[in-house]
Amino acid sequence: MRKLDVTITDNRVMDGQFGDISFADWGIECSDRHSFVTLTDIPRNAHNTGDIWHLSGGRLKIDLKTHLVAPRCLTVSASFTALDDIMLQDAVIRFVFAKTGIDHGIIADQSFKHTNSDKYRLYPVRQAELVSHANHRAVLTLTRSDGAGRFDPYLYLRDRDDHWIIHARLLPCGPVDQVWLRWANRFCTLSAPNWAAKRLWRIGPVRRFLWRLRERRGRHFPEIQAVPLNRLKAGQTLGMEVACHFH
């Protein structure tokens, strides 16, 4: 029987292998308008004291748990509890797999090859899958989500550089509290006035076009997109759990 080898440190998957499927650096992410929290990269305008993260807009208590619950199954759960009222773009559990060994990815009944497109193939679904050249599979299933009535669950599949990236993601649902319409370039980030961004957001075709536009179009598209934010009130919690089965 094929064996799952995995190293879990401080409730994070550091690296692992199942047949020709390699993975590493799993973690969490979240953002407000000016801060970015991550365990796998360099946080931006955010710092932590233990499990308390200080963002520009307020404080979050973030709890991450990872368990090997069966010989071929890992579960990863995360909770994001507001200690202050805070406006959030998203809350994420992040999974990273090496592209070597992976033949294709599947999400929303669609199959994709790795072309380094950096497209966020984002769908309101509960399952995404990676299939290796040797026909081994990593099947990720969102088994639980709680958006506190203000955030909806999504999964995305992304092919970037030498990796496949899958995010379980809670994103603001309507009516949204704020819209950040921005154009980022190598020199600066330009933002539309809040009143203008909100007015454009109310126009259905414009909203559907601009919503996370650069993410959906990939690396060769200008960094233009509308990103909604919703307020998480002090004491409210966002939560998710993902099971990763290897076959």
Q: Which fold has domain 4-175+232-246?
A: Beta-galactosidase; Chain A, domain 5 (2.70.98)
Q: Can you give the pTM of this predicted structure?
A: 0.94
In the three-class reduction of DSSP (H, G, I as helix; E, B as strand; rest coil), residue 207 is classed as: helix
Distance, CA of 197 to CA of 30 (rounded, Å): 22
To which H or E segment does residue 185 belong?
A: none
pLDDT per residue as tens digits for the range 64-95: 999 999 999 999 999 999 999 999 999 999 99
| pLDDT tier for residue 243 given thresholds of 50, 70 and 90 | very high
**139-155 average pLDDT score:** 98
Q: Which residues contact 22 (CB under 8 A, 6 or more apart)?
A: 15, 16, 97, 98, 100, 101
| pLDDT tier for residue 217 given thresholds of 50, 70 and 90 | confident
